[in-house]
Chain A
Amino acid sequence: GNSVTQMEGPVTLSEEAFLTINCTYTATGYPSLFWYVQYPGEGLQLLLKATKADDKGSNKGFEATYRKETTSFHLEKGSVQVSDSAVYFCALSGHAGNMLTFGGGTRLMVKP
């Protein structure tokens, strides 16, 4: 079946540091890949997505590239801000496209 593995958190960074959150997946076929973000007290919201190999999703300074050869979709940001503190979830949708499989989430804490 489908599965998503994320690096364990929390990840603690100083403001303006470079961020990488690793995500690898197992899936049959050609899934679409997503990053969702959850701010305190809120539900998850879509951050970015990529629908085929070598696609790069980007939003709010975050980027992730769909790497089929390494089955990865790592999230990166060049300079994090305190406001980026949140929990980040990697997810994939399978062939049927009806359901998302989520990773365990990675908590990011950015200190001023």
Chain B
Amino acid sequence: DAGVIQSPRHEVTEMGQEVTLRCKPISGHDYLFWYRQTMMRGLELLIYFNNNVPIDDSGMPEDRFSAKMPNASFSTLKIQPSEPRDSAVYFCASRRTGFVNSPLHFGNGTRLTVT
């Protein structure tokens, strides 16, 4: 079990640039979540997918953010254009259906810095 894999681990970009974060969930997991963590706001759920279909994107802060899951083994979170206030650690997490017996598995995150 390789765990949830996120790339890159660190991303530094300039304001206005497009940023793409990537996630590979654990094989067999049918739920995928994107979270953002900051000191000020803590852990925020941005969007989650079930069987590759977006279920709830109410946490996506604005239209600059978009997420896709083209297949069961890959998801992206894109920010275009990026702004300094987007600086945060972005986590991807996955789990198998049946929450009580299936914990949420997190990747190690992507630390995004927008200058």
Q: Which residues of A contact B (CB under 8 A)?
A: 32, 34, 36, 41-46, 49, 51, 89, 93, 97-100, 102-105
B91 within 8 A of A: yes
B11 to chain A, nearest CB (A): 15
A74 to chain B, nearest CB (A): 19
Extra pairs beyond A36-B104, A42-B106 (8, CB < 8 Å): A32-B99, A43-B106, A44-B43, A46-B103, A89-B43, A93-B100, A98-B55, A100-B45
Per the bound structure, the CA–CA distance linking A102 and B107 in Å amounts to: 17
Tell whether A97 pairs with B108 under 8 Å between CB atoms, given A89-B43, A105-B42, A105-B43. no
Tell whether A98 pairs with B100 under 8 Å between CB atoms, given A41-B108, A43-B91, A43-B107. no
| Interface bracket on B | 20 to 34
List the B residue with the shortest CB-CB distance to A91: B104
List the A residue with the shortest CB-CB distance to B111: A41
- The SS class assigned to the B binding surface is strand
Interface string of B41-81 (1 = CB under 8 A from A): 01101001010000110000000000000000000000000
A44, B91: Cβ atoms under 8 Å?
Answer: yes
B38 to chain A, nearest CB (A): 11
B42, A102: Cβ atoms under 8 Å?
Answer: yes
B109, A98: Cβ atoms under 8 Å?
Answer: no
Of A99, A104, A105, which is within 8 A of B45 by CB?
A99
Per the bound structure, the CA–CA distance linking A46 and B93 in Å amounts to: 12
Per the bound structure, the CA–CA distance linking A49 and B102 in Å amounts to: 11
List the B residue with the shortest CB-CB distance to A51: B100
B34 within 8 A of A: no
Q: Which residues of B contact A44 (CB under 8 A)?
A: 43, 91, 93, 104, 106
